[in-house]
Structure 1
Amino acid sequence: MVKSYLKLVAVGVMMGAVFMASGCSQKKVKAEEAATPAFAGQQDMGAEALDAQPMAPKSAFTILEGRTTGPMLPVYFDFDKSGVRADQQTRMETNATYLKDNPQAMIAIEGNCDERGTNEYNMALGERRAIAAKQYLANMGVGESRMNTISYGEEKPLNFGHDELAWSQNRRADFVQQ
């Protein structure tokens, strides 16, 4: 009887230790960690700085920014908006020129959002962004049959920070050659 009792107590203690060790604790993010961009050198990389980067030669098939295939460029959006911003039209023109000069190129336009909002809302917003970018390119003479759209919502951030800089880099459409 005593042995059974001791075994029961031992099993109970071990189960308690397992539950305590695997509890649902959340790691607190310190304020200075949250304000630090995920990638070194990104402190001053807003859309303006990204526009100033030189383009790769047309023969390049590399990733320049995010998941966008060079020499195409990602397009950035305002918070909760899906319309192409005026300051991003040059990027769209660059993408259209590349696609018209390379008629065999097929692309996927990936709509992305920042982490704010529900998953469902961000998936829908990412889809609206991808469709807006596709329509913009179609209006510039790129065949719609060469472009597919997909939304990743908030699932594929480039910058894992939790501040306006990170969010602004995550609100984008990527252009990926297939």
Structure 2
Amino acid sequence: MFANLRAILPALICVSVLTLSGCGSKKADDSEMKADKGDAMGAEESLESKSLGIMEGRTSGPMLPVYFDFDSSDIRGDQVSRIQVNADFLNKSAGVNIRIEGNCDPRGTNEYNMALGERRALAAKKYLSNLGVGEARMTTVSYGEEKMLLHGHDELSWAQNRRDDFVIVE
């Protein structure tokens, strides 16, 4: 009889614990039932976004960044319209000076990417100069792979990092 009791006792304890600790229901008191009147909500805000003057990447609006092919500093044919937008803006805004920032994807050595970023920035400066923008209004800098926008290891990320940014300077 004691052998049977030893086998049944753990099962009875488990059933007792589960029964007593089961889902209890708590009646909500009146303070919890009151409807939220929105007192803590604060003022309603518009969902319209505010322009910060940035269009893409680190380029100052309304200018656009210019993207490059892998291991190239040549202005691509599909990027000519973008650099033309930049030239039009700069020719209309005589007091605006810019810094052209050359960037690369992370493939290649740091030294190579710094040199490639510089060649890209200089190519954009020369192109803008040919479109009538004064060279004295433009400076160049190469960041190589130091200021990537996307850190992925795929062609989309790399393509977004192969660019020149056009930043308005004071």
Measure the CA separation in 2 of the matches of 1:97 and 1:110: 19
Helix, strand or coil: the match of 1:65? coil
* Aligned partner letter, 2:152: G
How do 1:16-95 residues align onto structure 2 when only pairs under 5 Å count?
62-95=53-86
Please say if 1:156 is aligned against 2:147.
Answer: yes
Normalising by structure 1, report the TM-score: 0.66
Please list every run of at least 4 consecutive aligned residues from structure 1 whose deviation after the TM superposition is greater than 3 angstroms: none
In the superposition, the TM-score normalised over structure 2's length comes to 0.69
List alignment gaps of at least 5 residues for structure 1.
Answer: 1-59
- Inter-partner Cα distance in structure 2 for 1:150 and 1:117: 18
Distance in structure 2 (CA, Å) of the matches to 1:100 and 1:61: 22
2:116 pairs with 1:125: yes
CA distance in 1, matches of 2:151, 2:52: 26
C-alpha deviations, 1:120-172, integer Å up to 9, x for none? 00000000000000000000000000000000000000111010000000000
* Matches of 1:92 and 1:63, distance apart in 2: 16
Aligned twin of 2:164: 173
Give the C-alpha shift of residue 64 in structure 1.
1.1
Paired with 1:91 and 1:68, the residues of 2 have a C-alpha distance of: 12
Q: CA deviation at 1:61?
A: 6.4
Q: How far apart, in 2, do the equivalents of 1:64 and 1:91 lie?
A: 12
Does 2:103 match 1:112? yes
Equivalent position SS for 1:71: coil
Query: Whole-Å Cα distance in 1 between the matches of residues 94 and 52 of structure 2?
Result: 15
What is the RMSD of the two structures over their aligned residues, measured on CA atoms? 0.9
Kindly provide the amino acid, as one letter, of the partner of residue 148 in structure 1.
Answer: T
Paired with 1:104 and 1:62, the residues of 2 have a C-alpha distance of 17
Gaps of 5+ in 2: 1-50
Letter in 2 for 1:131: L
CA distance in 2, matches of 1:174, 1:154: 13
Q: 2:131 matched to which residue of 1?
A: 140
Instruction: Note if contact 1:61-1:69 (Cα within 8 Å) is conserved in structure 2.
Output: no
Q: In structure 2, what is the equivalent of residue 100 of structure 1? A: 91
1:24-80 CA distances to partner (integer Å, 9 max, x unpaired)?
A: xxxxxxxxxxxxxxxxxxxxxxxxxxxxxxxxxxxx761111100000000000000
CA distance in 2, matches of 1:61, 1:146: 23
Offset of 1:118 from its aligned partner?
0.1
The alignment-based identity, stated in percent, is 66
